[in-house]
A and B are shown apart, each in its own frame.
Chain A
Amino acid sequence: MSDAIFMVLMAMLGGAIRVSTPFLLVALGETLTEKSGRINLGLEGNLVLGAMIAYATSYSTGSPWLGVLAAGLAGMVLSAGHGWICKLPKVNDIAVGIAFMNLGTGLAFFFGKPFIQPTAPRLDAIALGAWSSNPQVQQALKVNPLFFVGLGLAVLLWWMLKNTRWGLIIRMTGDSAASARAMGVSVDRVRLLATSAGGFFAGIGGAFLSLYYPGSWSESLSSGQGLMAVALVIFARWNPIRCVWAALLFGASGALGPALQSIGFSKGYYFFNAAPYILTLVIMVLSARSQKAAHEAPGELSIVK
């Protein structure tokens, strides 16, 4: 019995690290965007488009890392579109975000059709579990480098927001556009840049999906992870470090179903697979009631105002 629990826990740990990576990258992108005072719901589109571009690039060039870069650039271009349209007067960022979500997925499906069948070179994992003779531990500790990219980015973002001029300007723009303007900051430009950079991160998240886990391009690849990552930002209260923990929690809940199945416990499989979605709902309800979250929300967000 204890063996089974160990197996489930190891599978969940491995799953948490694996599944959390795209969540983390999208959430960091969204954090940066929202810190500047805008919401980009379109990051789901970045994720799917990034996945397709990464796969296609990796397939045609043979280099998965070139695919990652291409995915980031594609995400950046998509989000720059969002940022550019949102600076037009009387445009609602949420509506534009939904349009861009559909645009991103639509473009990915349109151009991605020829890449559903072929196999592209995938990203390699780093085996951190070599010290252990236990195959479960070895399996769980096979970590993709993009996970570390996410971790590094989280720390960098956290440091940047606190200790650099850009960081303070982004926070200022996100909290009080009037003050930012009074200091001669171009609010639209800050938001355009922050949204574009956020889109780059989300695009990389997409590359992880198609080049590592699940590791192939298909149209049902993301199943709404980009949207859940937006919810996760609220849960993490716009703090990049807390995004890491929140992403791991989402990852673990996503790994619950497969982990239980791996020990032969398949009762309620679909229910356990729905865990991340249920978690999203619970988190939304809880954070809607959390006054602390309301307090830490950037003041310029259209949902806060």
Chain B
Amino acid sequence: MDLVSIQHPGGITEVSLDGRLNMVTAARVREAIHEAIVANSPNVAVDLSRTSFLDSSGLGALVWGFKAAREAGGDLRLVSPTEQVKLVLDLTNMNSTLRSFDSLDEAYPRG
């Protein structure tokens, strides 16, 4: 899995995950979210447009990130999840907690 963090104006960190988010990669994702919150701001967008697979360990990492962001006074929102990721969010009833948006702008509207 390739992981890229980009800091956008307005204090939003976009973390893009290219590949599978599972028990092998969950720890790295947690670290990246933690770093974004500590180094930049507590508003995190996780770009899942190239995340081919999400399992329960990966979902656990996102929940962990969501809680960390909220505690720091921010939020964690998902951007363009793939079909399989949507399936998992749907099955686990996590849609209302981990909210998905079609683009970064929709996740964190500027203005």
Q: Answer yes or no: do A and B interact.
A: no
